[in-house]
């Protein structure tokens, strides 16, 4: 394990722009010159108004968005790994073993029961199915998802229930780097509490966490540091990525 004082993740001068070909090649700059470091066992919370580019940063760290400029590096005992230059196929293993992502919304696969959604990251690593199932069920129980729902596809679940399935799926594989995009958004107090515990346990085992939390109570309890994003944005960047999403879609 890397020494706790050494960062696990370094982001340097990160730049992201969307070019909208459908809008006459209009360029939307949504992030400029963002730098941060994140150490194992640390939870860094991104702060700033909605649409400032917090989710965009997480998506770049997860490989879902491409990097326009700057560098993203992971530091391992035996050397660095640049994420911004990684070939696409390298992400398969990286996402399986190193970088986990809990988004706000569950992408429902039709017909797949909740428990199968949760165990999938373990099965992908070759964990024995019976063992994976035990762990998944324990996780769902902990998140107070009624047992009768476990074998049902989450398509018909409420927003909160879907989110808990998603959280279980995100935390079960114990990735060394976890990206959390408002994991508590539609949860009640009891379940928020469970998520706070899960985050603290992840920190305790040395995971580095980068999160977005709108709930100030949760934020205050899990955050080691806050990173306000607005100073990184130039004055020219009046249009928000939220608008950008609308224009692009």
Partner 1 sequence: MKRPDLDRATLLEARGVSRLYGPGKGCEAIDIRLHRGEVLGIVGESGSGKSTLLRLLAGMERPDAGQVVYHSHEGELDLYAIGEARRRALLRMEWGLVHQNPRDGLRLGVSAGANIGERLMALGERHYGQLRAAGQDWMGRVELDPRRIDDAPKTFSGGMQQRLQIARTLVTRPNLVFMDEPTGGLDVSVQARLLDMLRTLVRELGLSVILVTHDLAVARLLAHRLMVMRRGQVVETGLTDQILDDPQHAYTQLLVSSVLTP
- Summarize as ranges the residues that interact with partner 1 (CB under 8 A): 1-2, 18-22, 59, 63-66, 76-79, 81, 86, 88-94, 97-98, 109-112, 120, 123-124, 176, 248-249
User: Got the DSSP string for 153-202?
Assistant: -GGGS-HHHHHHHHHHHHHHT--SEEEEESTTTT--HHHHHHHHHHHHHH
Angle, in degrees to the nearest 10, between helices 159-172 and 114-124 = 20
Write down the least CB distance from residue 223 to partner 1, Å: 23
Write down the least CB distance from residue 146 to partner 1, Å: 23
Backbone angles phi, psi at 32, to 5 degrees: -145, 130
Write down the least CB distance from residue 221 to partner 1, Å: 27
Report the distance separating Cα 115 and Cα 102, nearest Å.
16
Q: Which is nearer to partner 1, 91 or 221 (CB)?
A: 91
Q: Which is nearer to partner 1, 99 or 218 (CB)?
A: 99
Write down the least CB distance from residue 227 to partner 1, Å: 22
Write down the least CB distance from residue 244 to partner 1, Å: 11
Q: Which is nearer to partner 1, 36 or 74 (CB)?
A: 74
Q: Which is nearer to partner 1, 85 or 197 (CB)?
A: 85
Q: Which is nearer to partner 1, 123 or 196 (CB)?
A: 123
C-alpha distances out from residue 177 to 29, 99, 105, 156, Å: 27, 5, 19, 30
Write down the least CB distance from residue 111 to partner 1, Å: 5
Nearest to 215 by CA among 163, 177, 178: 163
Q: Which residue has the tokens 């399935």?
A: 165
Q: Which is nearer to partner 1, 205 or 214 (CB)?
A: 205
Report the distance separating Cα 136 and Cα 117, nearest Å.
9
* Structural tokens at position 113: 């029961």
């Amino acid at each position: 394990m890397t020494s706790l004082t050494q960062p696990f993740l370094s982001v340097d001068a990160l730049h992201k722009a969307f070019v909208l070909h459908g809008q006459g090649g209009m360029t939307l700059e949504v992030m400029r010159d963002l730098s941060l470091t994140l150490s194992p066992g640390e939870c860094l919370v991104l702060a700033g108004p909605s649409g400032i580019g917090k989710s965009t940063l997480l998506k770049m760290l997860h490989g879902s968005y491409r990097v326009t400029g700057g560098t993203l590096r992971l530091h391992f005992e035996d050397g660095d790994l640049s994420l911004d230059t990684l070939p696409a196929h390298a992400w398969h293993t990286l996402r399986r073993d190193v970088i986990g992502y809990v988004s706000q919304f569950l992408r429902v696969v039709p017909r797949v029961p909740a428990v199968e959604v949760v165990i999938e990251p373990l099965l992908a690593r070759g964990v024995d199915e019976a063992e994976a199932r035990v762990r998944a069920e324990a996780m769902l129980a902990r998140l107070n998802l009624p047992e009768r729902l476990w074998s049902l596809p989450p398509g018909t679940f409420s927003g909160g229930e879907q989110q808990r399935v998603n959280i279980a799926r995100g935390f079960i594989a114990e990735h060394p780097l976890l990206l959390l995009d408002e994991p508590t958004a539609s949860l009640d107090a009891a379940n928020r509490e469970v998520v706070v515990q899960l985050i603290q346990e992840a920190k305790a085992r040395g995971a580095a966490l980068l999160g977005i939390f709108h709930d100030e109570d949760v934020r205050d309890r899990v955050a080691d540091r806050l990173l306000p994003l607005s100073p990184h944005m130039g004055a020219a960047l009046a249009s928000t990525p939220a608008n950008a999403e609308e224009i692009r879609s």
